[in-house]
Each structure stands twice: as C-alpha cells, then as structure tokens.
Structure 1
C-alpha cells in the first residue's frame, strides 16, 4: 500500500488551523477559569435561554431600582438634614424671643431682630439646598431654586406690613401673606407640586413629599420673618409693641415645633423603608446571581485541568512547527 503524505502548503494550512483552534480553546478555558461561567452559553443551556433571560431581566430591573433607591436615600437624608437645621433655627430663636419678656430693652430687641433676620436668611438658603443637580425642596421643579432669595421676600414683607401700628397688625399681615395661596405660595415659592412616588421594591413605593411649601416649613418661615421685621424698622417708635412683636414671633415658632417634629418623623419613616428595601433588593440580587452561576457555572477543577492540557498541546504544536520549518532536504532523505 502506498503512503499518503501532505505537501508543504497543505501541512502549513493544517498547522495553522490546529493552532487557531487550540488558541481559541485556551482563550475560552482561561475565561471560564476566571469567571467560573461557561463561555458558550448556548451549549451550556442546551439552546434553552428562557431561564437565563428571566434571571438577566430581573437583574436589570433590580439594577435600575438600586439606582432609584440610592438617589431616594440621598435626597431623603439631605431633606432630613435641612429639616433639622430649620428646626434648630426656629427653636433657638423661639427660646431667645420668649426669654426676654418684660425686661427687654430697645437694644435687646434690636439685637434679636438682627439675629432673627440672619436666621431667616439661613433658613431660605437651607431650603434652596441642592443635591447634585436637584433642588431638593422644590418638589416637581428640581431644576430651579425652591424659594426666592431672602432679600426679595423680606422686601415684599416690608410692603405687606406698611402702615401697621401694632404688633397684632404686623402679625396678622405677615400670617395672611404666608397663608394666602396668592402670597408666599405664588410669589416666593418657585418650586412645583409634591414629587411622585418612587418604586423601591416590588409592589412598594415611597413618596418624599417635603417641599418648601409644606405647611410646617411655611409656618417656620412665617415665625422667623415676623421676628426679622424687628430689624427692618417695624413699629419704630413703639418699644412696647416691638417687644410684643418679638414675643408673638417666639410663640409662633414654638407652636410650630410639633409640626416640624411630625414632618421629620414622617420623613424618617420613609428613610427606614428605603433602607429596608435597599437591603431586600441586594439580597434578591445575590440570590439571582447565585441562580445564574448555578445555571451557567463550570467545574473549576475540571476547567483548569483542561486548560493545562490544552496549553500543553499548544506548546507541542509550536515545537513541532519549529522542527518542521527547520527541516532540510538532507534531513528528510
């Protein structure tokens, strides 16, 4: 029987094909060793991708939900910080205004008025707090400031109390402006309505409804603005009425404390729900990832053994190629 041999060109093509196949196997096995997941998904699943698609779809939803809950948690925390600062300003001023009483002097009243105006300015700045590109107290209009600047609001209030001759008149005018929908809500509040609820888990939503137009916040601004009028010439020439105005402002701020605490508590409950949902979603992600690994996972020991064997074959092929390329006619004969 005559022997069948390969020509040089045919042998070259054969070696190249074997080289490419072994390199592909090494690459595939290396990936599987590192990831622990089969590189050929269709082969591993037998062509039935329904279970894998369901898992990947759920993971995509959970990834989007993680982003939403993370943002909600960040905003809720910033809102809580802002509320705490506003409550601190209001509570501090109420104590100072109510502690003066009948012993107040014109200088003391003037000092309290100056401090109250600074507190009002700080409160307005707090309400215009931004987290990233969001104005957190602006409701559905997060792209803009929640309220006008303090100077604009105080100038408007100067006009509102013009002509008032008693502390009661000033209080009535200030409260009417803040309570009238065509007053503070229309002229000073530049935000929008309450934000829509955010889905934080399957069948569970949370609403961060705190805005600079919330009644508790509006009442706090009202009390601070009332006291700030002492620094803007309100009831000048009537010392006793100015003292009375300070007391009325302090009383208003004290009465608003319950509403501020309640608002903070409701926001705290929303924070707790967001935190709980975050943990639950993370656990679900872990469970789905384990199911995916079980579906596509490989035997790491077996894969490593195959990789070592394939690398040995590739090295053998390289050595053979070198020897064949160096063979001369004399060696062949």
Structure 2
C-alpha cells in the first residue's frame, strides 16, 4: 500500500487521479456486464480460445435461417390448405345444386345451375391464383406468375372444344380429352411451370416437398366438371333439355367423386404442415439449448457483478473523500 504522506503533492495528485480512473473504468465495465448479462472481457473469460464460441454462433446462425424458412414454409402450406378448403367447399356446394337441379327438367333450373357453376368456377380460379409471401401457390417453380387466366378465357377455350357435340357422353369425353391432352389445358390455360416447387428446407437434414400445381389431376377434374356445367345452358351448344338434365346429373356425380380426391390433397398438405410445425419445435428447442450453452461461456453472474459494483462505487466515493481532505490541507491549518 502506498503511503500518501511520504510523497510530494504533485505525485499524490497523480496517484489519486490514476486510481480514480481505474475505479471509473471498473464501474463502466461492471455496469456493462450488469446491463447485458455478458462479461466485457470475453477473451479473458475464454483464455483466448474462441473455437467453442464460434461453433455455437455458427449453429445459432443456421437455426436462425431455419426459423425463417420454417415460417415461410408454414405460411405457404397454411395458405394452400385454406385455398384447397375453399375449392372443396365450392365443389361441395355445386355438387348438391347440380344433383338437385338435375331432377327438374325446367329451363330456368338449367340456367340457374350454369350461373352457379360459373360463380363457383370464379371462386376456384381465384383460390388457385392465391399468393403467399408474394409467391403463387399452384404455379410450380414459376412462383412469380399466376397459374390460371380469367374464367372467361377458360370457358371460351373449352366452348370451342365442346361445340358440335350433342350427347352427354360426347361432351364429357371431349372435355376430358382436352384437359388430359398436354396440348390442351396444360398448354393453352395453365401459365405456371411444368416443374414442381423445389423442396423447402426446414432443418439441417429435413425438407418438405409439395408437388401440387393447378395441373394436379384432382384440381383439373374439379375445374373441368365445373366449367362444363357453366357451359351446359349456353346457346352455342344448343343441347335439348333432356340432355342438359342428364349432363347436370352426371356432372354432379363426377364432382362428388372429385371431393374424395380433394380430401387426399388436403391430407397431403396437412401432413406437410405437421412436419413443418414439428421441425420448428425441434429447431426452437435446439436454439434454446445452444443459447444457454453460449451464455454459460460468457455470462456475467448478476449477483457477483452487483456486489462488485457496489464495492467499487464505495471505493470511488471513499477516494473522492480522501481527495477532498488532501485538497484542504495547508500549513496554516496544520499549525492551528
């Protein structure tokens, strides 16, 4: 310990200022550690070996990226599930109406059926053109474009294929042929990519693949039968009433069968949703564990830090008191 009375005034002042600076630096360091919960001298805590800390940081960075990708994948699949639900509801509603209207051989019933079919087709196309996070859901790899054009465009193209056919069987066959022909619906109407969407990485060793586009057989069946129903009462086809009734009835049956296919699609998307949620949970748990390990490496004990801070503050206050007392010393005061 330095005996302050054994040194001169200038040296004493320098010593006091140096000690004051040291204490203020300690207070600044301890205050930082109190506010952040981390030691300021990381190198000293780790003895200069940053390898473990850097490895933890890399793992946390990867998990941050997976957190974003799982959120995006979840948004995508949730939107797809919602749109498939909308399509299924439209198909269900139209199925009931067609089977009901088909029992009445009245022109007004036929007109109502076609109008409803057109409205449901609008809904189906709108659902298929849904975007999530700026990406089209059913365009495959071409996520920047909508998969389908307007209802009018589709009906105009289909009407040209059905013109000249006069029986229920011929009309249904012509529609089926055009939708199945690679040079038909897929080339004329579908605007997306022939390649499915790339798998979405949701963890280091797991990805989710959703190969559903607007050309999926179940979706095309729903579009086809709904579009044909919208055209049944069209004057261009000029179908007799009994043929219209028979066609509506058959389309109702076909759409009822399509609902089973739609359920399978929804189940496929639901399975992907579950995997994404599970991966997000696992990633979150891993991230929490790594953050805990990282904090153990560089964390400052809050109780110890608070005690040290209180001690240093007391030392600084004591030093200020000593400095003031020394500043007031004089020969006159000494001789009194």
TM-score norm. by structure 2 comes to 0.89
Matches within 5 A, 1:42-53: 42-53=43-54
- How many residue pairs match? The answer is 330
Give the stretch that moved more between structures: 323-332 or 304-313.
323-332
Q: Once the 2 structures are TM-superposed, how far is the Cα of residue 11 of structure 1 from its aligned partner?
A: 3.8
Question: 1:150-186 CA distances to partner (integer Å, 9 max, x unpaired)?
Answer: 2211121222222222232322222222111122212
Query: What does 1:94-113 correspond to in 2, within 5 Å?
Result: 94-113=95-114
| Alignment check: 8 A CA contact 1:234 1:242 kept | no
Match of 2:280 in 1: 278
Aligned to 1:296: 298
Query: 2:86 maps to which residue?
Result: 85
Q: Could you tell me which of 205, 209, 220 is aligned with 1:207?
A: 209
Q: Could you say which residue in structure 2 is the equivalent of 1:312?
A: 314
Structure 1 unaligned residues grouped into runs of 5+: none
* Alignment partners' CA distance in 1, 2:334 and 2:218: 99
1:144-183 aligned at under 5 Å gives the runs: 144-183=145-184
Question: Retained in 2: the 8 A contact 1:134–1:142?
Answer: yes
Measured after TM superposition, the shift of residue 235 of structure 1 is: 3.0
> Is 1:143 aligned to 2:144, yes or no?
yes
Cα contact 1:235–1:241 (8 A) shared by 2: no
Match of 1:7 in 2: 10
Measure, in 2, the Cα distance between the counterparts of 1:61 and 1:15.
Answer: 51
Please tell me the root mean square deviation across aligned C-alpha atoms, in Å: 2.5
Match of 2:294, SS state, is: helix
Superposition map of 1:109-124 within 5 A: 109-124=110-125
Give the drift of 1:324: 7.0
Q: d(CA) in 1 for partners of 2:330 and 2:150?
A: 92
**177-186 or 323-332: bigger deviation:** 323-332
Pair 1:328–1:164, CA change in 2 (3 A) = farther
Find the counterpart in structure 2 of residue 248 from structure 1.
Answer: 250
Offset at residue 270 of structure 1 (A): 1.0
Q: What are the equivalent positions in structure 2 for 1:178-197 lying under 5 Å apart?
A: 178-192=179-193, 193-197=195-199
Task: Give CA deviations for 1:72-122 in whole Å, capped at 9, x if unaligned.
Answer: 111111101111110111122112212333423111011010000000011
Query: For 1:11-68, what per-residue CA distance to the aligned partner results, in whole angstroms no more than 9, with x for missing partners?
Result: 46x6665454433322321232233322221111111111111111111101100110
- 2:224 aligns to what? 222
- Pair 318,157 (structure 1): closer, same or farther in 2 beyond 3 Å: farther
Distance 1:139 1:323, change over 3 A: farther
TM-score relative to the length of structure 1:
0.90
SS at match of 1:256: helix
CA distance in 2, matches of 1:92, 1:17: 86
Aligned partner of residue 102 in structure 2, secondary structure:
helix
Alpha-carbon separation, structure 2, partners of 1:332 and 1:186: 108
After superposition, the Cα gap between the structure-2 partners of 1:330 and 1:158, relative to the gap in structure 1 and judged at 3 Å, is farther
**Residues 81 and 300 of structure 1: is their aligned pair in 2 closer, same or farther, counting only changes over 3 Å?**
same
Change (3 A) 1:106 1:321: farther
